[in-house]
Amino acid sequence: MMAGFVLVGALLGAALLIWLRGKSDGVKMLLDGLAVLAYLGFFVVAATSVARTIWDDTVFMTQVHEVLQSPIFLASGAYLGPYGLALLVQQLIDRRG
């Protein structure tokens, strides 16, 4: 059930982003800039969590999951999923047209 909600949300988010990207070059640049910030936030939080786990010599499988409590990690991942899907779909549409 939850996987269905995630799938529908990703598809709706991707459709919205495709529509917004088609509005203007300014909106497209804004969405791309947000993706860069989301990528950096996602990467920094994940890398910091993994590095801390290694440096502290803690049990990897339990300690590293603290990353799932980070709002930056969650928000970044929530944006990057539909954004990446939107880019892939847009490329498919452009190649066919």
* Full residue range of the structural domain in which residue 32 is found: 2-96
Whether 38 contacts 76, CB under 8 Å: yes
Long-range residue pairs from 71-74, CB within 8 A, at least 24 positions apart, any chain = 72/41, 72/42, 72/44, 72/45, 73/41, 73/42, 73/45, 73/46
pLDDT of residue 7: 94
Beta carbons of 80 and 74 less than 8 angstroms apart? no
pLDDT at 64: 75
Query: Taking the model in full, what pTM does it have?
Result: 0.82
> How many domains, in total, are found in the chain?
1
Q: Give, for all 97 residues of the chain, the pLDDT tens digit.
A: 999 999 999 999 999 999 999 999 999 999 999 999 999 999 999 999 888 888 888 876 677 788 889 999 999 999 999 999 999 999 999 998 6
Phi, psi (5° rounding) for residue 24? Answer: -165, 165
